[in-house]
Structure 1
């Protein structure tokens, strides 16, 4: 058993005891200064969950390349460091500062990828001026990476003030938005003075009232921290619906925080839209309106019709600026997706456009109504 300080930059958040073989946190005692994860509310149960989510998934952990038993032990060996925030663990008997260990320090011996979540293969390229995330898509014809570039194009055309991450590929012609690679890249949106706090942490920072939905709770906590995320959430919900993003779970959106004042700044930019555009369909059957609305999604609700009901400002997306189906077919064909699958993607996307048009005109999107038809 080893004893560490949980640190936020050079501020001590508390003391934890960690089993170095298993990587499990045995004990945590916060010091009550509001610096701990979960907006300063972390206890032992929350810290264990935070540590588990911080480690890379077991599916991406390669025991042969390390001398660690599992991903959590590997995380501990690398002091729990991350590119997206300034938390780390410091052995109590060692004199270290954040400047000594931070991943952007060229002399740092620690692996920047030990806290990089998600199932897709990915890594940080720290040779660039801004840390660059490189994602690899080796299934579904590489469509998940292509989808990130498509989502970027969609947001750029909107000319929106809503923040979003811009993805490119190594073989993209930026003037024509072509993508022929299974690899996509984006710049980090966090820096030493700005960090990411996931929606999961925000939601778990307070208890939920029985009458309050998780969505309303997220909005309320943000408002209590003096940031307004309603427009952001409306825009993200609608664009996720349009591109059929089924994976907006609580770790791939959130808020930004000033690492010095610990005050929330605003919503983090939209990122991680790869699980969209019907990427895991067999590519042969065009959806019906019923089958599209029957899809299960992750996030606040299990269906799209329920999350759409939370939208207050339906005009944040300009439907006239959205790509049309023929453009979608051409985009995916040029990206290397087989012609048949590209055609099906565009036809399914056309159904989403029809549903979205009806939604903007005030019609309730309802699986029940579609089944009655």
Structure 2
């Protein structure tokens, strides 16, 4: 099953599909930092590599640039791609932010649709935030061109467009925790096929969760907890050493020690990796910050966002901050590392801990700076942002396995029709 990943980020969707036995062909990502992580691990990686078209530059580029500068290369791919995946930028839809129908990032999904019309893949998977299927508030001021996004959700608009060009569309919301990801991450999916197999592919994916967890040797009847995911990365009882994978000096990381017994989820994350993972850099918290984290733990219920009353009392301006519940999945991993506090240590999570909660295996190396700030925030895509924006690879692997089975079934349908 040959696939193209559009708005690929650091490669969460691609990684899961590759692990499911699919073949990557091309990946489109405009941010150079995210693209370098993707290239390093998957496009030219030691474990996986893409069947990259010779005439298509292997570099960061926007979807718009691809359509303008490389249409000939895209036309050459027409009819050779089984699956196109992508999660167009979602800030304009996020219920956690300011929902803005005029947000230019919303229109990137239309570029995705133009790619579909050129390449005509057998299957399409679009991933986005839950708010993707929520109508905008009609009181929001917007240009007349954006009326369609106010009168209907963007998911409804895109689904209608895909149906109009011959795709059979199924869609809905799922929780990544149902696929073994130690995180209550609710996302909206649109899954399409060119063949009317009378199967609702989204429903089939939902029903595949338990089977997939059994396949990965995880318990089908309970969620993977954050303790299952990151217990071996706790600082307590570990020696510390200088961190060497950051351009900024003065940070420490743990001397990683592999547990004698690997629980099922940790075995998946180690994935045969024999050395310490990268991105273990510990934060350099000030004493006042550590004391504040201790107060937050005392004032909060683990696993639930700190109440507004408690935030006001502690002088916290952030809208959401959560202390992890040790034996439960994490709340949604975001691009802001200070949204979440460790379940037993007064600190934020390391980039590797967030990667574990997102289900990235330990051999997957994140590149570039760890964080950014100020004006650079709109341009940079540091490690925490790469991880927070990604589709969990475990979920993507389940999607890949399900669609490979479906492709075989649809080929049988087409063969029968020809007979």
**TM-score, scaled to structure 2:** 0.21
Whose helix fraction is larger, Structure 1's or Structure 2's?
2
**Higher RCO structure, 1 or 2 (CA under 8 Å, sep 6+):** 2
